[in-house]
Structure 1
């Protein structure tokens, strides 16, 4: 008999171990949306506060109860467990390279403590344990020392500890009479709607290598299968288990059998990223024999590169009878890949980072979506260097120009791209820095009725031409591709003190054709015809124009004469600043742009 979940969650009270982790917090969110009261068993107040902030950002209403878990104490959780009807174990350690004793403490001893705890709950309907697609389905038994040694030697500490925990969970639950269900998820990727994820191990690390251009060959063969599941689908699946009587004593593999084989999956992401997918493939057996310094592959990850398929029928049937549809996997993968890249694979935190596609050009932007104030960065920096200014401005965003930063495209895309940016995304105040100033002027010339204000920061066409060497693209490309953040900071600001703000720009210049595009743009800024055309466009523009320059990087006498002759132009000089005042004087730049 199937007992489906009642509206509002009824009298359900779920206690989640590992609630602040990737799966755990999505589970708490899904429980809340199902009307189920939840408690979060966290090891520290800091973990709970992080969870509550995340839930609040995602529209979760009443925060879960704050319960403290102490895995060294006999009771595990002292108070607040009255009325608990279901327990979810999302805790444990997901990290490769752990010592065996550390992995066992986290993933085996933790399971033993949670099963014993659940056995003492008088109203318990179900204990749900998160195992894994490669380790699920173990025989319920306590392992001998010989089996433990062999398995840990063969699989590595992480996967072996999860396999041992799967066996121990079943054995202990049977011994203590605890009703249980197990989920064996594959690689858990981002939310199916937003792509959101902060999990950067496993498949995500391979996607990062693809993005940065460091993936020389695809490991495995044409049949290597690394299945995925969207984290929100997994969480929703788990919320349904406790009220389904047929799910008791059953293990499920909730994964998409239609996940593309690994080479096809990476080709899908490469096409989306507008990068080349490696054609070469390298057998896993060879990867094992090569030095880790060469492959950069943790030996523990290699067992996941398999052609194996998994028993998904029961999970599919369960989902079908509860009306739970698997999200489209290709779409989920693309959104997940976008989120990973937009957040620089964990190196750039916070929200407001995304990819858009004005005129079909894959474009990175940060800040408030559809904000009327749009910053167009210059050379050789990216939108991230403007993040402090954008944050200070409020309703603003910074957008990488085509071919620069994390955006795809090239100079030929400017007309259609700028038109879509202005007419399609509501850009009304264009803040162009250096090269971006040219884009702002061209956009205003093409759409004078839409662009209400221009702010030009260090507009190159009013300043001295670049040095002769910079006008020759090949050596400029070579320099830019190899330049460290410290070298860039010294060249752009005169000191290495601003190197941290340029780390992402240096990383972008090492990726794909960004350095080549930057070098070409730099050479084009010396073109007298383009410079003359931009000055003419500025003369014709009738709307208000605000020019911001550093005192150490003034316009040429001819450029200053032009500004003085135009009644719609005001000029702000930032004392002590050079060509990149957003790096050295972000507060003054923000105040100048805002007009305060």
Structure 2
């Protein structure tokens, strides 16, 4: 059957596998319809497809797994059904898991049997549960034992696999089963929104909360890229040899689990745990010690899987699997950049200017680059980036989610203003120092300089702020609420600071404390003021009314021929938190906007923390 003759129905189309399958079918020229539980699910799918240049959404059929007809809408010309529906979730009750994963399979098979033009029914099972022989009759006692020993999720998948193949055989349907392993991100971008299973171990690794490496050199948790799996699934209805067959399209060269985690730790530039815990011991330890969901431990096995037929099918159709290590590292980057599902939506990634692993959010090549101050990260600038539109914010080396340290600034800023194309530097507090030093070293590359609350034109920090041990102790333990109170005078901005607190606890508190102490050094402050005096281009300084410049700072700017000053009413040292829209408006103001008249200097408040 050629692609134009195919009409595929995808159930579970808004999930990770389903939406990649819809995209792959579309790219193969197959007509696709999707069955969704709600209009909202279809809208999510439509938005995801549009981001990948698919602007004509597939027809939206409404599905109700409790209704005998299953789907409302015309289905007579459907030639293939791909069942990606179900619940991938740990902690479900047995009844909940069976409704989600077993009852839906019964309904799908019964529905498929009524389709007059059906050529293939494809079911997504699982690499640990897919039957490798004839269907097994699960008696009531065997089922109870399975749910007790495996947990509700895996046991329901075992039962669903058995029910699917038994019912499809009974009804004489041409079926295929695909048994994916741990489905990770897109092989080209790493993109995923699934954070269970192996992703949780990477999160613990990133946050420094993984106490030990689980398993040994034989513990095998294989992976498969979501896009490769989807392309593999599109082949099944086209090949007569795949009828009544199950396939395991997983990466045989996935490193053993401890090696995989060590590989990612090296990539993250964090220390992998030295200790290892054998799987049998891990299963006996209480959850409060391991931090692992008991249902996930059954996946820690030395078993290998019958992958030869999947590899042969892919080779027969010239489908080349992506490089496993590269895919894993791209996936790991995406997970960390999106804070394992806790980051706001947007364009987020890691880059390597000057060889320094650097977190960046916003438009990748935007000339306007925002450099955060202390003790916050680039995420606190996300609202300003959104207001500006074509801009990006980067964590300084050694801060936020960036690697490196202060010694990397020269090479980092050289690359940033060189091949990375930053021509308008917006530096906040400590970031203002980086911006001025970059402009001084590369005056021809930096066309515009915007300094927000530049510490070297403001009063010096108090003594505790300039003492690194006290600052380090405070920053490594501070809560988001306490930090918000310290920076803004209210706890209202605590949510915006949670990621900053997470970064500080991950280990950046020491760097932040050291740099905070450095901001009090007269020699560095004088060097920055001297560099600013030499800058030939326009300089725009933005300060909060509650966080003024010193008289000397005002005098310096008054002497510059292309300097302007904007004061934000009601703002303190962190206007990106309290006044993001007004700050964005000030940043985009023309460089030659006249400075407002000098304001009386109020009592400084909301300075950086101790």
What is the TM-score of this pair, normalised by structure 1?
0.98
**Structure 1 residue ranges without an equivalent (≥5):** none
Contact 1:32 1:61 in 2 (8 A): no
In structure 2, distance between residues paired with 1:500 and 1:351? 17
Contact 1:222 1:261 in 2 (8 A): yes
* CA offsets 1:50-107 (integer angstroms, 9 cap, x no match): 1111111111142111101111111101312121000000000100110001101111
Secondary structure of the structure 2 residue equivalent to 1:560: helix
Say whether residues 1:405 and 2:400 are aligned partners: yes
Which sits farther off after the overlay, 532-541 or 274-283? 274-283
2:494 aligned partner: 499
Secondary structure of the structure 2 residue equivalent to 1:10: helix
Q: 1:143 aligns with which of 124, 138, 153?
A: 138
1:335 aligned partner: 330
1:367 aligned partner: 362
1:314 aligned partner: 309
Say whether residues 1:230 and 2:225 are aligned partners: yes
1:593 aligned partner: 587
Say whether residues 1:221 and 2:181 are aligned partners: no
Contact 2:354 2:415 in 1 (8 A): yes
Alpha-carbon shift at residue 219 of structure 1 (Å): 1.3
Say whether residues 1:559 and 2:553 are aligned partners: yes
Q: 1:489 aligns with which of 484, 505, 510?
A: 484
Runs of 4+ in 1 over 4 A off after TM superposition: none
1:356 aligned partner: 351
Q: How do 1:457-496 and structure 2 match up within 5 A?
A: 457-496=452-491
In structure 1, distance between residues paired with 2:384 and 2:527? 29
In structure 1, distance between residues paired with 2:231 and 2:74? 24
1:117 aligned partner: 111
Q: 1:298 aligns with which of 293, 309, 326?
A: 293
In structure 2, distance between residues paired with 1:63 and 1:492? 46
In structure 1, distance between residues paired with 2:10 and 2:284? 41
Contact 2:4 2:31 in 1 (8 A): no
Say whether residues 1:392 and 2:387 are aligned partners: yes
* CA offsets 1:430-451 (integer angstroms, 9 cap, x no match): 0000000000001101110110
In structure 1, distance between residues paired with 2:311 and 2:321? 9
Secondary structure of the structure 2 residue equivalent to 1:424: coil
* CA offsets 1:542-587 (integer angstroms, 9 cap, x no match): 1000000011111112111111121211000111111111111111
Alpha-carbon shift at residue 470 of structure 1 (Å): 1.5
Say whether residues 1:52 and 2:23 are aligned partners: no
Secondary structure of the structure 2 residue equivalent to 1:205: helix
Secondary structure of the structure 2 residue equivalent to 1:371: coil
2:79 aligned partner: 85
Q: 2:179 aligns with which of 184, 190, 198?
A: 184
Q: How do 1:429-468 and structure 2 match up within 5 A?
A: 429-468=424-463
Alpha-carbon shift at residue 124 of structure 1 (Å): 0.6
1:259 aligned partner: 254
Contact 2:448 2:538 in 1 (8 A): yes
Alpha-carbon shift at residue 286 of structure 1 (Å): 2.0
1:425 aligned partner: 420
In structure 1, distance between residues paired with 2:505 and 2:148? 38
Say whether residues 1:23 and 2:17 are aligned partners: yes
What is the TM-score of this pair, normalised by structure 2?
0.95
2:123 aligned partner: 129
2:272 aligned partner: 277
Contact 1:375 1:432 in 2 (8 A): yes
Alpha-carbon shift at residue 294 of structure 1 (Å): 2.2
1:531 aligned partner: 525
2:318 aligned partner: 323
Say whether residues 1:575 and 2:591 are aligned partners: no
In structure 1, distance between residues paired with 2:227 and 2:129? 22
In structure 1, distance between residues paired with 2:491 and 2:462? 21
1:208 aligned partner: 203
* CA offsets 1:243-269 (integer angstroms, 9 cap, x no match): 100000110000111000001111111
Contact 1:141 1:170 in 2 (8 A): no
Which sits farther off after the overlay, 542-551 or 562-571? 562-571
Contact 1:90 1:130 in 2 (8 A): yes
**CA 1:141–1:119: 2 relative to 1, 3 Å:** farther
In structure 2, distance between residues paired with 1:386 and 1:63? 33
In structure 2, distance between residues paired with 1:141 and 1:361? 54
In structure 2, distance between residues paired with 1:434 and 1:26? 43
Alpha-carbon shift at residue 531 of structure 1 (Å): 0.7
Alpha-carbon shift at residue 10 of structure 1 (Å): 2.0
Secondary structure of the structure 2 residue equivalent to 1:340: helix
Secondary structure of the structure 1 residue equivalent to 2:369: strand
* CA offsets 1:101-158 (integer angstroms, 9 cap, x no match): 1101111111011011111111111000000000012531442101101111110110
In structure 1, distance between residues paired with 2:520 and 2:121? 69
* CA offsets 1:385-410 (integer angstroms, 9 cap, x no match): 11111111111000100000010010
2:191 aligned partner: 196
In structure 2, distance between residues paired with 1:95 and 1:349? 22
* CA offsets 1:304-325 (integer angstroms, 9 cap, x no match): 0111111100000000000001
Contact 1:362 1:407 in 2 (8 A): yes
In structure 1, distance between residues paired with 2:92 and 2:347? 34
In structure 1, distance between residues paired with 2:124 and 2:255? 24
In structure 1, distance between residues paired with 2:332 and 2:385? 25
* CA offsets 1:338-380 (integer angstroms, 9 cap, x no match): 1001111001132310000001100001010110000000000
Secondary structure of the structure 2 residue equivalent to 1:510: helix
Equivalent pairs counted in the alignment come to 589
